[in-house]
């Protein structure tokens, strides 16, 4: 084992803070008893504040993929048409899952360098006079590309066409790191996961609901049992779960929500914005291109950088892992070998970023990747110009 902490700078799972690790390190309790009830009520209320919703949030003991499936099976019927936008690898995986469930997917192809385009969605919905499309599914933060979708614009596109389709949004890699507002943005089902912005180990995932989604559930005919919201919502009202919950992860979730609220969600988002900007400045100094082609859609939780032609991203990543004990995200799907991704989300501060960027800069040198020096310096100059360090270091009231 190398000395010092491993740098886990993939865009999820992210580094789990010591406070969360300590919170998890407790005896598992009777999940039908009064002590659990308090925990259950606490996390079920707290997670709503993170999604910014007054409506129920369902917590599953599952990875994000489970919550993807849950979102679809609770509101749709076999053969229903869903409109999806191919923003990248994760959008493509959600589409595949929808197809396997027996849904008919209308896919808007994308170039994997931007978020879902509202005008294209508006056009498809306007053409769907018969309202055959029952749901629009987009990924808020496409973890494979580092491009975000401007969800309010998608909402506006649906409203402008007066189309009744539900809006389903994946926030697995943006929840608690990039501004997101389930109620205000009129989202019907938001899908979240524990192991990215929420700073927890993998193993929990979420569906935030809207009244319209709950109403759609009554007529939805895809088979559902384990994922059934109504099975969950009844016991959740008293803080309990219909089956054994991931009790220890819920201890962690309670602590993570406390940490996020001590810092203040607005400060958390500003911190992620700052680290993303510093990373892009480093990339510009190195002469490496950011994959996301639309500046308004730059992700604040990760940055994907394009390798110079003829250089393999995986060679660079393995050199950095071997020499500096840092994991960076690989290129996924059609981006394999062509990009590497720097995760800068979760339990992360200015110096974590500087360690990360120094490792990348040294790695570029080591692996013989053409670049200019001075990326880490450019990031430092920017961070120093930002004044006060992360608000997380001072306990906000
Ligand atoms: C990580 C991720 C997923 C998959 O979640 P799992 O927990 O691996 O099942 C889905 N969508 C996005 C945007 C992700 O970042």
CB 246 within 8 A of CB 24: no
Examine the domain organization and report whether 288 and 365 are in the same domain. Answer: yes
117 lines ligand 1 (CB under 6 A): no
pLDDT > 90? residue 289? yes
Question: What pLDDT sits at residue 394?
Answer: 47
Percent of the chain scoring above 70 in pLDDT: 97
Among candidate residues 235, 261, 287, the one where a domain is terminated: 261
**Mean residue pLDDT across the chain:** 96
| CA 43 to ligand 1 center in whole angstroms | 21
Examine the domain organization and report whether 371 and 232 are in the same domain. Answer: no
Among candidate residues 261, 279, 312, the one where a domain is terminated: 261
Bridge partners, 169 (sequence order): 138, 190
| CA 193 to ligand 1 center in whole angstroms | 7
- Domain contains 304: yes
206 lines ligand 1 (CB under 6 A): no
Question: What pLDDT sits at residue 81?
Answer: 98
Question: What pLDDT sits at residue 1?
Answer: 80
Among candidate residues 213, 233, 261, the one where a domain is terminated: 261
Domain of 299, in residue numbers: 7-14+264-386
- Domain contains 1: no
Separation CA 217–CA 58 (nearest Å): 14
Examine the domain organization and report whether 189 and 272 are in the same domain. Answer: no
pLDDT > 70? residue 395? no
171 lines ligand 1 (CB under 6 A): no
170 lines ligand 1 (CB under 6 A): yes
Q: Pairing mode, if any, of strands 189-193 and 205-209?
A: antiparallel
- pLDDT tens column, 138-165: 999 999 999 999 999 999 999 999 999 9
Examine the domain organization and report whether 224 and 289 are in the same domain. Answer: no
Examine the domain organization and report whether 274 and 368 are in the same domain. Answer: yes
Outline where 197-300 has alpha helix (H).
211-219, 229-236, 247-263, 265-286
CATH number at residue 327: 3.90.1150.10
Which residue among 62, 143, 176 is best mutated to probe the pocket of ligand 1, counting the most ligand atoms within 8 A of its Cβ? 143
Q: Which pLDDT band holds residue 71 (cuts at 50, 70, 90)? A: very high
pLDDT > 80? residue 390? no
Both tokens of 73, joined, read 């099976």
Examine the domain organization and report whether 89 and 138 are in the same domain. Answer: yes
Q: What is the pTM of this model?
A: 0.96
The residue whose CA is least distant from atom 4 of ligand 1 is 64
Q: Give mean pLDDT, residues 371-388.
A: 94
- Domain contains 38: yes
Question: What pLDDT sits at residue 387?
Answer: 75
Indicate the number of domains in the chain. 2
pLDDT > 70? residue 286? yes
- Domain contains 58: yes
């Amino acid at each position: 084992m190398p000395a010092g902490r491993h740098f886990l700078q993939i865009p999820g799972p992210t580094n789990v803070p010591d406070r969360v690790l300590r919170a998890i390190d407790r005896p598992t309790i009777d999940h039908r008893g009064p002590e659990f009830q308090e925990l259950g009520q606490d996390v079920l209320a707290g997670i709503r504040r993170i999604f910014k919703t007054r409506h129920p949030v369902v917590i599953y003991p599952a990875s994000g993929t489970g919550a993807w499936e849950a979102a679809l099976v609770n509101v749709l019927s076999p053969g229903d048409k869903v409109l999806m936008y191919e923003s990248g690898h994760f959008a493509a995986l959600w589409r595949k899952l929808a197809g396997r469930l027996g849904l008919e997917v209308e896919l808007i192809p994308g170039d994997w360098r931007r978020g879902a385009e509202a005008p294209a969605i508006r056009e498809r919905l306007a053409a769907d006079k018969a309202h055959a499309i029952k749901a629009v599914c987009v990924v808020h933060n496409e973890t494979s590309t580092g491009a975000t979708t401007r969800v309010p614009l998608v909402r506006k596109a649906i409203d402008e066409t007066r189309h009744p389709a539900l809006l389903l949004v994946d926030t697995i890699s943006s929840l608690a790191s990039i501004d997101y507002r389930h109620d205000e943005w009129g989202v019907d089902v938001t899908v979240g996961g524990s192991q990215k912005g929420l700073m927890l180990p993998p193993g929990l995932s979420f569906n935030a609901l809207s009244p319209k989604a709950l109403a759609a559930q009554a007529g939805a005919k895809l088979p559902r049992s384990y994922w059934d919201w109504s099975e969950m919502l009844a016991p959740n009202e008293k803080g309990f779960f219909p089956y054994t919950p991931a009790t220890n992860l819920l201890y962690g979730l309670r602590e993570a929500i406390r940490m996020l609220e001590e810092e203040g969600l607005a400060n958390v988002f500003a911190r992620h914005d700052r680290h993303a900007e510093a990373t892009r400045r480093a990339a510009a100094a190195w002469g490496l291109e950011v994959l996301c082609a639309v500046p308004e859609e730059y992700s604040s939780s990760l940055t994907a950088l394009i390798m110079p032609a003829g250089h393999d991203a995986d060679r660079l990543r393995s050199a950095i892992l071997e020499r500096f004990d840092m994991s960076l995200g690989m290129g996924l799907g059609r981006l394999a070998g062509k990009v590497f991704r720097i995760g800068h989300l979760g339990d992360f501060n200015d110096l974590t970023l500087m360690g990360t960027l120094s490792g990348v800069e040294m790695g570029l040198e080591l692996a013989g990747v053409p670049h200019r020096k001075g990326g880490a310096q450019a990031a430092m100059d920017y961070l120093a110009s930002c004044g006060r360090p992360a608000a997380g270091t001072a306990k906000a009231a």
